[in-house]
Chains A and B, each alone.
Chain A
Amino acid sequence: MKKILYLNGSPREKNSSNSYQILKDIASFLEDENISYGEPDILTLPRSYIVSGDEFFEKMDSADIWILALPLYIDTLPGHLSFWLKRYEEHRKELKAEKKIKVYAFINCGFPEAVQNRDALKIMEIYCRKNRLNWRFGIGLGMGEAYKQMKGIPLRSPLKRDILKSFRTLAADIENDNESEIENMFVSVRFPSLLYRLMGTAGWIQRGRKNGLKKKNLYACPYQD
């Protein structure tokens, strides 16, 4: 059985991290498909980039497959994750024998358009190429917040049809040792974009209110002279 390492590239706490949830959902699907068994090995890379990476790198080296989930931060990878990938790159140069690890990336963004993850996926692909890792393909998820809110809705529900399709593609590629190229996939839960944007706006105002802020306070320009 192939050793799958789930890498959580979000700096947030487990309970509030969409990336962590996505990894759990993928792991549960792969278990249903008899591709993996038992408790998934989810490694959360710490936000602090000054701690030692030895323990993480050992896990990363020994895996056959990485499934990396991360949030889109300013159109690319989160800063702390870039640090860890850079440090792993330096570590990998020192290895005597390199394993050709298969890599999949699942990037989620808060915008309705899943395609906004395209450049970050391309960056992951370049990273893999430069580090002789076997980049397979990536999945870009739009409406990340709606995915989080629909946590309780089964994966096989029509609302998650496109996500299920992407999980199936992932599972099939893990199973088959096929080297043919696979295009990145862009998916999201089925929800109207306009409504998502309206609810998002209302949500920010509401969260501000909980902190004692009125809507106009959210527009503050504290550093303008």
Chain B
Amino acid sequence: MKSVIIHDTADEFGRKILGFLKKKAETSEGSFKFFDLSQLSMEACCGCFGCWIRTPGICVFRDDLEKVMKEEVNSDKVLYLCPVTWGSYSPLLKIVQDRFLGRALPFFRIYKGETHHPKRYKNSPVPFMAGYGTNLDEDECEIFVKTGENLSDNIHKGNINTMIIKSENDFSGFMSFFEEEKK
């Protein structure tokens, strides 16, 4: 099993979570690749739709995110980890999500009564979204879970597994990510 962990964990609690994940990865079956977003060079999406109509599936910016996307597309599981920011992803992780628009096709499909885009790749990793914070409001957590579901509707195959990590007690939520599972 191949897994990818894309994280924005610059603060103390983030580093603690990352330390836990790295330790867990060492003792779990399969391969785990970590991408630290603070160490990557990446442009913000410019809204040109080049990844749909110029070079389908490929962003016009050929920076560090290209290798992240390649790894993610060919993995069995992907875990995104960032601080919950006003109920959304952190700015760095949001840039990644925008830049991965090419994971979807430009066309429309109706899903759960709303218009969405079909997915580009037939095989796609099982998505996990973990947002952390030690002082989160209820509505921040609620909206974080909702936006995770939306991400799943538009980009990913299968339901997203969203986690809110408020303290070390919530680390058990990561167990399903490390469990061996076939696509």
Q: Which residues of chain A have a CB within 8 Å of any CB of chain B?
A: 10-12, 47-49, 71, 73-80, 82-83, 85-86, 111-113, 115-116, 119, 122-124, 126-127, 130, 193, 197, 200-201, 204, 207-208, 210-211, 213, 217-225
Contacts and interface: CB of A to CB of B under 8 A. Distances in A.
B57 A222 contact: yes
A118 to B, nearest CB: 9
B147 to A, nearest CB: 5
Nearest to B54: A211
Interface of B: 43-49, 52-58, 69-70, 73-74, 85-91, 94-101, 105-108, 114-116, 120-123, 137, 139-140, 143, 146-147, 150-151, 154-155
A113 B110 CA distance: 11
B143 A223 contact: no
A47 B121 contact: no
Given A76-B88, A204-B52, A220 B57 contact: yes
Contacts of A210: 53
A47 B61 CA distance: 13
B88 A221 contact: no
A217 B58 CA distance: 12
B45 A219 contact: no
B47 A12 contact: yes
For the complex of A and B, 3 pairs with smallest distance between CB atoms? A79-B95, A75-B150, A80-B44
B120 A211 contact: no
Nearest to A46: B44
16 contacts: A11-B47, A47-B43, A49-B44, A73-B101, A74-B150, A78-B98, A79-B99, A82-B94, A111-B114, A119-B150, A204-B52, A211-B54, A222-B56, A222-B57, A223-B69, A223-B74
Contacts of B88: 76-77, 82, 123
A71 B44 CA distance: 14
Contacts of B58: 222
Contacts of B105: 218-219
Contacts of B56: 208, 213, 217-220, 222
Contacts of A130: 86
Contacts of B94: 73-74, 76-79, 82
Contacts of B91: 49, 79, 82-83, 86
Nearest to A209: B53
A50 to B, nearest CB: 10
Contacts of A221: 57, 73, 120-122
Given A119-B150, A219-B120, A11 B46 contact: yes
B45 A73 contact: yes
Contact of B95 (A80, A113, A124): A80
B73 A224 contact: yes
B123 A127 contact: no
Contacts of B121: 221, 223-224
Given A77-B88, A221-B121, A47 B98 contact: no
A211 B106 CA distance: 15
Contacts of A211: 53-54
A225 B74 contact: yes
Contacts of B70: 223
A12 B100 CA distance: 17
B114 A113 contact: yes
A163 to B, nearest CB: 19
A123 B108 CA distance: 25
Contacts of A220: 56-57, 120
A127 B45 CA distance: 22
